[in-house]
Amino acid sequence: MKNFFRSMAFALAVIASSAVFAAETPSFNNVTVTYQSTDFQVDDADGFAVGFSKTLGDTLFVKGDFSRANANFADADVFRLGAGVRFDFANNASAYGEAYALRANVEYDNLTGLRDLETWGYGVEGGARVKIASAFELRGGVATERLTRNSEWTTYGLVGATLNITNSFAIVGDARIHDDANQYNLGLQYQF
């Protein structure tokens, strides 16, 4: 895990060093719909995610998402809603931090013998977003979540990219990387 965080720090440094190539900061006003694929140690899951982000003034933003994943042994719904701050550290780059509440509902197959799970949790996320060119953005960061009062914190590495195909529409791809499960998203984003 230590090497993972070193790799993330290096990736963020590369992103930040490329700040001279574009003169536009990343947009925090968008609606996104993605196909979602998750690789667990014991199974894979497919699903979708819908999310939004909206700025409130120059530095504050609100953000939320809903995702549904289906695996052979369970179905899961996750809701997140939070708020954050952004700071432009170059004319094409922003650092951000956010805190959010989350709700997870997991329905297990009858064959597993496990009870369904409904739980609340919370998390924090921080990272950087850089417009490499007017139509291309790179993202990197770290998120950590805790689902119940008795559970451990779960930390994810975050990487992603956005390719604008028009001024309002983009193709987005990102990954949440963890030791036990990697999640990949690919979809469309409307920017306003």
Domain boundaries, the chain: 2-191
Strand (E) positions, 14-116? 30-40, 44-56, 60-71, 74-90, 93-108
Condensed to tens digits (0 to 9), the pLDDT of residues 170-185 reads 999 999 999 888 999 9
Residue 91, C-beta contacts closer than 8 angstroms, at least 6 positions apart = 19, 22, 23, 24, 25
Which class would CATH give 2-191?
A: mainly beta
Would you place residue 21 in the very low, low, confident or very high pLDDT band (cuts 50, 70, 90)?
low
Would you place residue 1 in the very low, low, confident or very high pLDDT band (cuts 50, 70, 90)?
low
Give the pLDDT score at 22.
56
Angle at 2 between CA 13 and CA 90, to 5 degrees: 15
Instruction: Report the chain's mean pLDDT, rounded to a whole number.
Output: 88
With 80 as the cut, is the pLDDT of residue 46 above it? yes
> What mean pLDDT do residues 117-135 have?
94
Share of the chain above pLDDT 90, in %: 70
